[in-house]
Amino acid sequence: MEVGYGSGEKTGFFTQGRRSLQALAVQFIVKMVDLASSIKKLGQDDPRRVIHSLKVGLAITLVSIICYHQPLYSNFDETAIWAIMTVVVVFEFSVGATLGKGLNRGLATLLAGGLSIGAHHLANLSGNIGEPILLGFFVFLQATISTFLRFFPEIKARYDYGLLIFILTFAMISVSGFRDDEILELAYRRLSTICIGGAACVIISIMIFPVWAGEDLHNLITLNIEKLGNFLEGFGDEYFNRTGDEEGNDGNKFSEGYKSSLNSKTSEGSLANFAAWEPGHGRFPFRHPWKLYLKVGTLARECAYRIEALNGYLNADFQESSEVSTVIQEACTNMSIESGKALKELALAIKTMVQPSSADSHIEKAKSAAKNMKSLLKSGIWEDIDLLKAIPGIAVGAILVDVVTCTEKIAESIHELASKAQFKSVEPPVSPENLPPEQIQSVKSAQMVNNHHVITVSESAPASPPVESSSVPKAS
């Protein structure tokens, strides 16, 4: 009995252990599959990430030749590792970020090296006792001043990394120079290796499938404004329940698109900062007005916050009275649709880099609808309506009036951008109503000729009544 009980207990233990191992194996396989799916999705979302990874690997491999090749390594000794470190910390995703970091690192190293050599020579004049004291004072002074400069927003945005490298390089060369008399050789080797690493990063970043921060900023602003337009175009019909169920489901999808512009401030600021370092490329010449994109993005976010409020009313549970809907429906729908069309035209103008004149007519129609809405809000028709049921509709109308104002401001900022960036001007199609009388007659004559009719006009003949088209002979 005891033997049977022990063997049964042992069998149960091994069975439980086998099941645990099988469960762990299944969990491991599931996690590996999830990891592979995440890697695949990350690469599919933006294939440039895969290319960037290959570029970084290529840059590090090329720079590592300094360490592998003995004749090159003998010229730099242990300082050759700074070339590899430079590639690791400098090579960024976009060309602008790589150039910004590379120039910051190179200039900071050059300036810190020169000042540290000067500080070392001044400290030598004070003798053995005063030299470490004076060097310590110089290190304290430059670290204090450089750190304080990092608090200035404009300096921090573009030169923060350079100031960090300046502090580090000045301290390292000053300390090394105190223990090593070959301070010039040390500064030369450090600067040379940093230049080699930085040059490798910049050349590979520009020459092999470059990623331009300016182009990404351009596309981001365009996409955000287009999403705002998509929401506004569908909001009127969705709010007043004029669409069917199938279209209503599509409306729920478009209603989420605007949210990307609410959290894009940091991305826009970073891309604009990186784009300022980039040389002229493609459609974007040198000194392109990138700061104006930030102005457009700020106004688009202000509009997005109003749209967020509209979306709250769209998803609310309350139902306003049909009487209120009848009063405000036409004005609100026109404001929403025309503002949406104007924003989409503005987005298209930025995308194609043409003058945004096509959006002006939609803005005028939206302003006319906003004027009608203001008249309704000021009228006395609300006295006979239950205010509790009227408040949601009044709020929606007031927000849409504000959206029209925001749309007009966005259009003005894009007009300024188009002027500064020298967008192409596209002549609108000529309408016969805008032509002078003599040109209208010429257009009509040309149209009749195309319809196989011939009209003979004699300049010397006196004016005569118009000839009926039935009496005009057919062209042979």
CA dihedral 34, 39, 40, 45 (to 10 degrees): 120
| pLDDT tens figures, 200-211 | 999 999 999 999
| pLDDT tens figures, 151-185 | 998 898 889 999 999 998 888 877 765 555 566 77
The pLDDT, as a whole number, for residue 69 is 67
Query: Which carries the bigger pLDDT value, residue 107 or residue 16?
Result: 107
How far apart CA 352 and CA 128 sit, in angstroms, is: 68
Q: In 3-state terms, what secondary structure has residue 471?
A: helix
The H or E element spanning position 188 is: helix 183-207
| pLDDT tens figures, 38-50 | 888 888 888 899 9
Query: Which carries the bigger pLDDT value, residue 456 or residue 43?
Result: 43
Sign of CA dihedral 309, 310, 315, 318: positive
Kindly list the domain boundaries of the chain, sorted by start residue.
50-207, 213-420, 432-471
Note whether 187 and 173 are within 8 A (CB): yes
| pLDDT tens figures, 363-409 | 999 999 888 888 887 776 666 666 777 777 888 888 999 999 999 99
| pLDDT tens figures, 112-157 | 888 888 887 887 787 777 778 888 888 899 999 999 999 998 898 8
| pLDDT tens figures, 235-257 | 887 877 643 444 444 445 556 77
Angle at 202 between CA 201 and CA 203, to 5 degrees: 95
The answer on pLDDT for 219 being more than 90 is yes
The answer on pLDDT for 32 being more than 70 is yes
Is residue 143 packed enough to be buried (19+ CB in 10 Å), middle (13-18) or exposed (0-12)? middle
The pLDDT, as a whole number, for residue 162 is 92
Confidence category of residue 72, pLDDT binned at 50, 70, 90:
low
The answer on pLDDT for 57 being more than 90 is yes
Indicate the fold that domain 213-420 takes in CATH: Methane Monooxygenase Hydroxylase; Chain G, domain 1 (1.20.58)
The pLDDT, as a whole number, for residue 440 is 46
The answer on pLDDT for 260 being more than 50 is yes
The average pLDDT across 20-42 equals 85
How far apart CA 386 and CA 254 sit, in angstroms, is: 32
Amino acid at 74: S
What tokens does 194 get?
């940093």
Q: Which of 99, 90, 80, 101 is nearest to 59 (CA)?
A: 90
Confidence category of residue 286, pLDDT binned at 50, 70, 90:
confident
Residue-wise burial string across 42-59, b where 16 or more C-beta atoms lie within 10 A, e elsewhere: eeeeeebeeebeebbeeb
